Structure 1
């Protein structure tokens, strides 16, 4: 099995049980070893009292991209710590895309950067996630 095939199979297994990402309206666009892309169209129910995309929604999108990237080797992995910087507002109707990239993987710990952009390539947020493997697999291998 190639690394990309393993990442795709791991993502399919995770997506099947990932009710939260589906509930938000996210779509899994692409996955490879240490890499994942998810998207979300900002709907009215994603907007806060200022009429812009709620920061928690943006964070959730980045966090889901992070999750698929750090689980791409079929080793069950969770977030140990995350942080996000909001740089521009997402607006109703925007298509937000979160691209997660592995920065470092050492032992049981990993570091991943996620960039969230809109359809005009405006940078909406930057996210950094630190991961920790917990043992087990997402699918039997």
Structure 2
């Protein structure tokens, strides 16, 4: 019988290697998204809304809010070095933001098992909740970092 892998130990032991991988998302970087906190099953990312990120009404486009939430989700679900990808998401938009506003997404792991992970991502402008997303990740068998024999 195979022993259960201690993914928290993997996160702690390989933190720098995992962090280097998840922070270097070309799409997030192109939007100016900054990863501000990274822990096992948790991520926080910030974006300053630019003038080109708004819709016809002058408020931040929903796709920009979604991209910020999705990036935080991606970082949180890949925090253990195991390749994970989004399986489904549902987002609710509650308020808007304008150019110059700094919006922050916080992704929190609700539950994780061998094959799936469940997350809640809240997006804030200051103290105001502007969007909330529920997300499910699919966890592949592959680790994107090199594990040692004692990790397995």
| Structure 1 residues 125 and 48: alpha-carbon distance in aligned structure 2, compared to 1, 3 A threshold | same
| Structure 1 residues 58 and 4: alpha-carbon distance in aligned structure 2, compared to 1, 3 A threshold | farther
CA distance in 1, matches of 2:39, 2:68: 17
Q: Is the 8 A contact 1:84 1:126 kept in 2?
A: yes
1:110 aligns with 2:117: yes
| TM-score normalised over the length of structure 2 | 0.86
Q: What's 1:56 paired with?
A: 63
1:39 aligns with 2:39: no
CA distance in 2, matches of 1:5, 1:128: 29
Q: What's 2:78 paired with?
A: 71
Q: What's 1:12 paired with?
A: 20
How many residues matched? 139
For structure 2, list consecutive stretches of 5 or more residues without a partner in the other structure: 1-8, 148-152
The structure with the larger Rg is 2
Q: What's 1:87 paired with?
A: 94
Q: What's 1:27 paired with?
A: 34
| TM-score normalised over the length of structure 1 | 0.92
Q: Is the 8 A contact 1:26 1:40 kept in 2?
A: yes
CA distance in 1, matches of 2:11, 2:37: 14
Q: 3-state DSSP class of the match of 2:82?
A: coil
| Structure 1 residues 77 and 140: alpha-carbon distance in aligned structure 2, compared to 1, 3 A threshold | same
Q: What's 1:96 paired with?
A: 103
CA drift of 1:49 comes to 0.6
